[in-house]
């Protein structure tokens, strides 16, 4: 089949947030993707959510996320993101995608 | 390809997408492709208390394979028309399967029938 018409071109060079099928939240600079939505991030980190403490950030560096394992790719509004108080945001970790 | 065309007709409309991790988001449908991957603009998570993961995110791409439901605006959908089109589509697929098998049998003339499935999928996609 031909390439998807709904592309991720708009995300190039932007800060994006990826939610994976196993419920992880990755944030990084969007460097590229292909037709199966494999995505390459640089300067990436994982945001670990927990119900008893604020968001923990784990630096990861350059990351390639396989398309199979991606649920959502979202563009992060960096100004709004900087305003967030990570210590105050408490939430259960996301559930896995169950097909 | 029927539902791809159907979703294309909903571009610009407000929809609610429920994912297979129980998260539910609403936003404006910006684009859709043949895998039913969708791009939504100006999204908000329906239960932001429980899912504060996307507070600073407005525009998203959702992989079609993780979507469980799409809640549609009732006034934008002609259910009768969609039902008719679905039936026509299914009927056409059945028909092209039959003719595909008949053609293969005629071409084979008693030789082992070869797998014609790639042909059929081509026909379905083209119709």
Q: What is the CATH number of the domain that holds B13?
A: 2.30.30.100
Name the pTM for this structure. 0.84
Chain B, nearest residue to A81 by Cα? B56
Domain that holds residue B71: 2-80
User: Is position A64 within any domain?
Assistant: yes
Q: How confident is the model at residue B98 (pLDDT cuts 50, 70, 90)?
A: confident
ipTM of the complex: 0.94
Contact B60 A75 (CB under 8 A): yes
Q: Is the pLDDT of residue B126 over 80?
A: no
Letter string b/e over residues A69-95, b meaning 16 or more CB atoms within 10 A of that residue's CB: bbbbbbbbbeeeeeeeeeeebebeebe
**Chain A residues within 8 A of B24 when measuring between CB atoms:** none
Q: Provide the β-strand partners of residue A58.
A: A46
Quick one: CA torsion of A96, B69, B123, A37, rounded to 10 degrees? -40
> Which pairing describes strands A70-76 and A56-65: parallel, antiparallel, or unpaired?
unpaired
For residue B57, the 8-state DSSP code is E
Contact A17 B21 (CB under 8 A): no
User: Is position A61 within any domain?
Assistant: yes
User: Is position A29 within any domain?
Assistant: yes
Q: Provide the β-strand partners of residue B25.
A: B17, B45
User: Is position A86 within any domain?
Assistant: no
DSSP characters for B39-55? EEEEEEETTTTT-GGGT
Do A11 and A75 form a contact (C-beta atoms < 8 A)? Answer: yes
- The number of domains in chain B is 1
List C-alpha distances in Å: A72 to B62, B95, B126. 5, 38, 30
* Residue A22: CATH number of its domain: 2.30.30.100
- In angstroms, what separates the C-alpha of A95 from chain B's closest C-alpha? 5
Q: How confident is the model at residue B125 (pLDDT cuts 50, 70, 90)?
A: very low
Contact B60 A81 (CB under 8 A): no
Q: How confident is the model at residue B97 (pLDDT cuts 50, 70, 90)?
A: confident
Task: Give percent helix, percent strand, percent coil of chain B, each to the nearest 5.
Answer: 45, 25, 30
In this prediction, residues B17-32 reach a mean pLDDT of: 97
Q: How many CB pairs below 8 A link A and B?
A: 99
Task: Say which of A49, A77, A89 has its CB closest to residue B58.
Answer: A77
pLDDT digits (tens, 9 = 90+) for B35-45: 999 999 999 99
Quote the CA–CA distance of B49 and B43 in Å, as a whole number.
15
Domain that holds residue A42: 2-78
**Chain B residues within 8 A of A99 when measuring between CB atoms:** 20, 65
- Supply the pLDDT for residue A3: 60
Q: How confident is the model at residue A6 (pLDDT cuts 50, 70, 90)?
A: confident
Contact A73 B54 (CB under 8 A): no
Q: How confident is the model at residue B13 (pLDDT cuts 50, 70, 90)?
A: very high
Do B73 and B43 form a contact (C-beta atoms < 8 A)? Answer: no
Contact A5 B52 (CB under 8 A): no
pLDDT digits (tens, 9 = 90+) for A17-70: 999 999 999 999 999 999 999 999 999 999 999 999 999 999 999 999 999 999
What does the block give as tokens for A17?
Answer: 């947030």
pLDDT digits (tens, 9 = 90+) for A58-96: 999 999 999 999 999 999 999 999 999 999 999 999 999
């Amino acid at each position: 089949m031909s390439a998807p018409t709904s592309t991720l071109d708009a995300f190039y060079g932007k800060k994006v947030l990826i939610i994976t099928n196993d419920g992880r939240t990755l944030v990084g600079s969007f460097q590229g993707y292909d037709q199966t939505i494999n995505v390459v991030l640089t300067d990436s980190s994982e945001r670990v959510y927990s119900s008893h403490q604020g968001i923990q950030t784990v630096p990861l560096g350059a990351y390639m996320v396989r398309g199979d394992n991606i649920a959502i790719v979202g563009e992060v509004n960096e100004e709004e993101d900087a305003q967030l108080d990570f210590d105050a945001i408490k939430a259960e970790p996301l559930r896995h995608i169950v097909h | 390809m029927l539902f791809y065309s159907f979703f294309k007709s909903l571009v610009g409309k407000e929809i609610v997408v429920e994912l297979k991790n129980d998260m539910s988001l609403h936003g404006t449908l910006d684009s859709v492709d043949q895998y039913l991957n969708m791009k939504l603009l100006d999204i908000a998570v329906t239960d932001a208390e429980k899912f504060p993961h996307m507070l600073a995110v407005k525009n998203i791409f959702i992989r079609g394979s993780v979507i469980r439901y799409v809640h549609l605006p009732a006034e934008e959908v002609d259910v009768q028309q969609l039902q008719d089109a679905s039936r026509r589509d299914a009927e056409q697929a059945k028909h092209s399967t039959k003719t595909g098998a008949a053609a293969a049998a005629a071409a084979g003339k008693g030789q082992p029938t070869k797998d014609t499935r790639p042909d059929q999928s081509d026909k379905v996609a083209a119709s």
